[in-house]
Structure 1
Amino acid sequence: MPPRSQAVVAGVVAALVGFSSSFVVVLAGLVAVGATPAQAASGLVALCVAQAAGMVWLALRHRTPLSLAWSTPGAALLASGGAVTGGWPAAVGAFLVAAAMILLTALVPRLGDLVAAIPTALARAMLAGVLLPLCLEPVAALAATPLLVAPVVLTWLVLIRPAPRWAVPASLVVALLVVVLAADRLPGLGSVVPRLAPTFPTWSASAVLGIALPLYVVTMASQNVPGVAVMRSLGYRVPWRETLSVTGVASAVAAPFGGHAVNLAAITAALTAGPDAGPDRSRRWPASLAAAGTYVVLAAGCGGVTALVSTAPDGVVQSAAGLALLGTLAASLHEALVEEEVRLPAVVCLVVAASGTTVLGVGSAFWALAAGLLVRTVLHHDASRRRGSRVGTQIGGPTPQGRPADADRGSGEG
């Protein structure tokens, strides 16, 4: 296969895998914070088009196979948190605040340093706690409606070893087939046509603390920083500040139409920038253009899949979403618990996030970070005091653990 054709195929596959592996998570997250099915479909369309535009800009400007994606961890955060004070307009306002914070990170490197100062273990523990209730859905649904959910789980189980890349997309296809077969009637043509539904945003403190701040943290820690690491492992230098600026603008443009966040891709980046896109690294960048074009085509089908998902029996689509997040949960748990020094604070962070507790109108993700940082501070203070008593003087405070090295290096890039 000619190198250019190889890059195009890789880009198409990356977009198909990225979309089909997590679109139900995005829809579930948007609906959970108050969107109607039409508004959720609008958000999915806006995300597809915004990330496609960003990829075209970056690929043509830098001749680098940079990939953008929606924030799947961010969508899971929304799905676990539920509605906030002010409803859907307040959620849209929080999306805009998160986009502004991403833009500020590009303009003010010190803000990126503050994010990097949050221990990676705590950020990952918060994400794991958010994902855990969603990943339990296949278990509960399989027990409640085995005839509907078993085909979805079995499809994933059969393919997870021979074709892991396609296990989740295939299980989602089976879930949609189950929905079609179980539905009394299918959605009408009017609900299938994709439409952009703008929402005038409002702002509330609970939405900013419960949605915007955790969304920003998980998007930076679980998508942007790993995305830089993946690209570097493949031999590419990421224009860090410009990429953050592009994703921040894309997020801000998509937000009024329901899009929660656009970020640097991590998993699908390995498809567009890896050997599958051709043997010559300097000629892989058309893969990003092909992925962008595929996302625009997929945007046309967002209304149909959203209408279909909205008619699904309880548990079917949720099971597919839970299976889609198992890999992310496994990686998050490993990174959260691997360092013994921060293991207890990470566990506290995880259980608070998994509790789903809302206090003062603010969701559990914010309180999870606060609790984890508090426990870590107490433990490190006691450890420092004990060290000082042994040597007769306190030499200095402990170095923050889990600081994302890629974020430190990347913040200086132009």
Structure 2
Amino acid sequence: MTSPTSISRPVVAGIVTALVGVTSSFAVVLTGLRAVGATPAQAASGLLALCVLMGVAAIVLAVRYRMPITVAWSTPGAALLAATGTIEGGWPAAVGAFLVVAALILLTAVWPQLGRLIARIPPSIAQAMLAGVLLPLCLAPIGGLVANPWGVAPVIVTWLVFARFAPRWAVPLAFVAASIVVTVHLVSTGASVDPAVLVPRLEFTAPTFTFGALIGVALPLFLVTMASQNVPGVAIMRSYGYEVPWRPAMLVTGVGSALGATAGGHVINLAAISAALSAAPEAEPDPARRWIAAASSGVSGIVLGGLSAVLVALVVLAPEGVIPAVAGLALLAAFGSAVQQAIDDPGERMPAVVTFLVAASGVAILGVSAAFWALVAGLVVRTVLHLGRRPRS
């Protein structure tokens, strides 16, 4: 007979997984959605859709396969949107790009050749593109500290202290510090909040499809999601002894992404870093029962979706630099990992450096974002430098 204590342990682990995942990166998601044209209401709708759909997807996969398969939104993908900025066609074109990404994920499930084609992109170039996209966001705490030291310093100090003593909670507690800063700012300025804007609601947008959004947003977003979320997520699960069913996982997350696209959700995928919170022995000693933690994280994610409008209100009302600082701090670990993987192989270093610089430049040519041109530039440089060379064994 299963005791209440044995049940509570994985349930609590799942709640922690959802709390850490949402509070540590929601600012990045909102920054990305707002950058490509979403209004505060549309960004809140996107956050709500993502929370609910990734929660449902985690519950379905965990219960069906009895594995701690957790699902998350694409934080690197949101960072890509933030770096891309306004696109031709505005928010409806971004929604169209989200639908294309969902279709590509579904295609990956039913046509394995697409997955093999993605695998042929050198990891150094994919990670260099990601690092270039993340760089401007990671600089935000520095710029914010200069522009608004009294508002941003408490956020950075909180993050630094807990990065030393409780790394898992460093970013969530930095967000708590930011919330306190925002509250003090509201009280001191006498600003008020309309209670109606704090009610979560979905706002649907009819998609449009433009060349710039398809090439400059959908393709890089798909590649970043696959290379930085789905593939590492499978590897992390394998390290804990679980073989993720690839096709069902892509089908579930692809369908979820499609359902959430018109509501403003950019994409859901297999969790990568946060996957360990439910799959590790700390969540539950018995590997056969860790799926409870993943299911619990799904339920918790749905509940947290109810706070989507409140989170957006915090972002809108925050003083200068405070929320971008939280987003930048949340991305430091991902940036460091991407840089390390990009330059780890000396033979691939120069193409990776070119890819990184083009992505970080933010230049848009022919309405296509820098992320796409970074991939092109890196692959061209790599091809030229490798001409006539024998493949290494």
State the TM-score bracket (shorter-chain normalisation). over 0.9
Q: Are the counterparts in 2 of residues 200 and 256 from structure 1 also a CA contact under 8 Å?
A: yes
Task: Report the TM-score when normalising by structure 1.
Answer: 0.92
Which secondary structure state, in structure 1, belongs to the residue aligned with residue 72 of structure 2? strand
- What's the counterpart of residue 321 of structure 1? 327
Supply the AA of the counterpart residue of 2:360. Answer: A
Q: Secondary structure at the match of 2:209?
A: coil
- Residues 187 and 308 in structure 1, CA contact (< 8 A), matched pair in contact too: no
- Residue number in structure 1 paired with 2:346: 340
Normalized against structure 2, the TM-score is what? 0.97
In the alignment, which of 150, 157, 160 is matched to residue 160 of structure 2? Answer: 157
Aligned to 1:365: 371
Q: Find the counterpart in structure 2 of residue 121 from structure 1.
A: 124
> 1:3–1:277: 8 Å Cα contact kept in structure 2?
no
- The aligned counterpart of 1:205 is 211
Structure 2 gap ranges (5+): none
Q: Kindly indicate whether the alpha-carbon contact (under 8 Å) linking 1:3 and 1:283 is maintained by their aligned counterparts in 2.
A: no
In the TM superposition, residue 2 of structure 1 has moved relative to its aligned partner by: 2.7
Q: Which letter does structure 2 place at the counterpart of 1:87?
A: G
Deviation digits for residues 108-145 of structure 1 (CA, Å, limit 9, x no counterpart):
00000010000001110000000000000111111121
Amino acid at match of 1:204: T
Q: Secondary structure at the match of 1:198?
A: coil
Matches within 5 A, 1:2-401: 2-183=5-186, 184=189, 185-381=191-387, 383-384=388-389, 398=391
Counterpart-to-counterpart distance in 2, 1:269 and 1:3: 20
Extract unaligned runs of 5+ from structure 1.
Answer: 388-397, 402-414
Note the alpha carbon deviations across 1:247-271, whole angstroms, 9 max, x for none. 1101000100000000000111101
Moved more, 288-297 or 343-352: 288-297
Write the deviation string for residues 177-233 of structure 1: whole angstroms up to 9, x where unpaired: 111211231421100001100000000010001110000000000000000010000
Seq. identity, %: 57
The 2-side partners of 1:188 and 1:308 are apart by 12
Query: Where in structure 1 do 4 or more consecutive aligned residues deviate above 6 Å?
Result: none
Query: In the comparison of the two structures, how many residue pairs are matched?
Result: 387
C-alpha contact (below 8 Å) 2:127/2:338 kept by paired residues: yes
Secondary structure of the 2:34 match is helix
Take 1:157 and 1:292, find their aligned partners in 2: how far apart are those partners?
29
The amino acid of 1:120's aligned partner reads P
Tell me the C-alpha RMSD between the 2 structures: 1.1
User: Deviations 1:238-295 (Å, cap 9, x if unpaired)?
Assistant: 0011101111101000100000000000111101111122110001111111111111
Find the residue that maps to 1:69 and give its secondary structure.
strand
Match of 1:390 in 2: none
1:25–1:321 contact (8 Å) kept in structure 2 = yes
Q: Deviations over 1:130-162 (max 9, x none)?
A: 000000011111112111110000001111111
Quote the Cα distance in structure 2 between the aligned partners of 1:308 and 1:191: 11
Work out whether residues 147 and 320 of structure 2, in 8 Å CA contact, stay in contact via their aligned partners in 1: no
Give the partner amino acid of 2:223. V
